Amino acid sequence: MFTDVAALALSLLAVRFASRPATPKKTYGFYRLEILAALLNGVTLIVLSIMICIEAYHRLISPEEVKGMTLIVISSGGLMVNIVCAYLLSSEHKHNLNVRGAFLHVIGDLLGSVAALVAGVLIIWKDWRWADPAFSFIISGLIIYGSWRLVAESINILLEGTPSHINAAAVEQAIRTVTGVREVHDLHIWTITSNRYAVTAHVVVDDASHSYRVLRELRSLLADNFNLTHSTIQIEDPTFATIFNPKKN
């Protein structure tokens, strides 16, 4: 329960600080604080899950007496609290990496409460003392899987990798379809924060007098087709491109 509170507090602090306006020294603002919070929550979950697995292993090889009714009462209380927390976070966790980190903490505890509840019943009914540590292995495995995806996505954003749902080759091909575009190079696509994507590109045009029209069409195409709402396009004529970019990037 303490880890849930800490995860929620971290997420809320990240949201608050991320909403601060950009400054001359932080020109992109503080959006990445949410990504850092998601990364920290993900790593914490993996570490805690590994620790639970180690403890469960020792309990399997050296079973201890577990009072089934006590397990049921405690897990029932935790289950109710986690259901409420999961409901409050459910609408945002799919769209916000930071919220997903807190949501995983809550879901992990919720599943743990369900597992403990079932284990308590099995201990009373069948005296299966191995049920509690066995369920701990299963729940920890699920949490590690979900947390690893969260960590991987957070690292990809911090490394300014191309978002997984955007095909860079498709973006380049779409840019080439705009009338007047001859060449595209130095194309870069990255995530600023959850659901905020950016792109930069150098676009060589046949006729520099059509630059404004090409730029307008490109910005519209990138926003409408790829949700790349923050675009920076450098328009170049063939002569400029040949002098300053002799090799195709």
Give domain limits for the chain. Answer: 2-158, 168-244
Evaluate if residue 93 carries a pLDDT over 90.
no
| Phi-psi region at 40: left, alpha or beta (left = phi > 0; alpha = psi -120 to 50) | alpha
Evaluate if residue 178 carries a pLDDT over 60.
yes
Dump pLDDT digits (tens) for 51-76: 999 998 888 888 777 676 777 777 78
Tell me what pLDDT residue 240 has. 66
Tell me what pLDDT residue 247 has. 55
Dump pLDDT digits (tens) for 95-149: 788 888 888 888 888 888 888 888 888 888 877 778 888 888 999 999 999 999 9
Please check whether residue 139 is in contact with residue 115, taking contact to mean a CB–CB distance below 8 angstroms.
Answer: yes
Please check whether residue 198 is in contact with residue 31, taking contact to mean a CB–CB distance below 8 angstroms.
Answer: no
Tell me what pLDDT residue 209 has. 86
CA 20 to CA 39: how far, in whole Å? 20
Tell me what pLDDT residue 1 has. 56
> For residue 81, what are the contacts with CB-CB under 8 A and spacing of at least 6?
1
Was domain 168-244 assigned CATH 3.10.450.50? no
pLDDT-based confidence at residue 246 (cuts at 50, 70, 90): low
Tell me what pLDDT residue 4 has. 65
Whether 2-158 shares its CATH topology with 168-244 is answered: no
Dump pLDDT digits (tens) for 4-53: 677 778 888 888 888 888 889 888 889 999 999 999 999 999 999 999 99
Please check whether residue 199 is in contact with residue 222, taking contact to mean a CB–CB distance below 8 angstroms.
Answer: yes
Evaluate if residue 3 carries a pLDDT over 80.
no
Question: Which amino acid is present at 3?
Answer: T
User: Quick one: average pLDDT of 74-87?
Assistant: 79
Tokens standing for residue 46: 């993996």
Evaluate if residue 249 carries a pLDDT over 50.
no
Helix axes 2-18, 68-89, angle to 10 degrees: 10
Please check whether residue 4 is in contact with residue 88, taking contact to mean a CB–CB distance below 8 angstroms.
Answer: no
Tell me what pLDDT residue 180 has. 92
For the whole model, what pTM was predicted?
A: 0.81
CATH architecture of 2-158: Up-down Bundle (1.20)
DSSP letter at 208 equals: G
pLDDT greater at residue 216 or residue 86: 216
**First and final C-alpha spacing in the chain:** 52
Dump pLDDT digits (tens) for 185-243: 999 999 998 889 999 999 999 988 889 999 999 999 999 999 999 999 999 888 765 55
